[in-house]
Amino acid sequence: MKKFSFLQNLDADLKQSLMVQLRNLWTHTSTAIEGNTLSLGETAFVIEEGLTVSGKPLKDHEEVVGHAQAIELIYSYLDRHGGITKAELFDLHKAIQTERIWDMPVGNWKVEPALMQAWFDLLESYCRADLDKEKALNAYAALHISFVRIHPFFDGNGRIARLVANLPVLKTGLPPIIIATEKRREYRGLLSRYELAVGQPVAGEALLPQNSRLEDFIKFCGASWKPSLEIVEAIHDKQAMRNRQGA
């Protein structure tokens, strides 16, 4: 399995730095898209120090801590079997929920179960495949938009989609695709336009009708990949410099 191959040939401290940077950026952007008010620096402080930021809602602190824990769960699922089970998805959903917002029903879908089974089948097909970078991008976009379209939970669907759609990306050995907060309006607009074009999902029908309409979202996700790829490149540049200095 190629998972985490972006960490290869890095010293231990640089591996740790890379994973922390990705976790903090991923957590900050995904929660900020949903209205969290913590900055990237504050998000890092809360996760790493376990302390609160004066004047910020407790809910915002709980959200970033929960999201960081959810990322660790994603990594553990990759280590365990390279995908995700129904029970694990529920655990992931519980992790991102704050103490003040508990979804109902707990441990079940609010939609036709056949829709989520179709989504799991799609995920498994991507996780079993040998994907290159372009195919991993297409997998991310398809899993992301189909999950949001199903909207299986009353709360947290966007954060979950931005987590689980990265499973085949990470399994391919690439860093996660992270949607930038400042792209929130464009991101939501693309999701809405697809939903308006194809309508509500129906059990037994294709999860992603009119695939040609996904092209704009795929391009958007590809552009959104740039920050995490740049973080990886910068860390590897540090390693290369360290290697030259030690030669």
Annotated binding site for ATP: 155-162
d(CA 140, CA 220): 11
- Sign of the alpha-carbon dihedral angle for 41, 45, 48, 54: negative
Distance in angstroms (rounded) separating the CA atoms of residues 100 and 221:
31
Binding residues: 155-162
What burial letters (b/e) apply to 142-169, b meaning 16+ CB within 10 Å?
bbbbbbbbbbbbebbbbbbbbbbbbbbb
* Spatial CA neighbour of 147 closest among 102, 73, 92, 77: 92
Q: Does the annotation count 81 as an active-site position?
A: no
Catalytic residue among 28, 61, 81, 151: 151
Question: Prior bond to 113 cis, omega within 30?
Answer: no
Distances (CA, A) of 45 to 29, 40, 48, 96, 210: 15, 9, 5, 18, 43
State the catalytic residues. 151
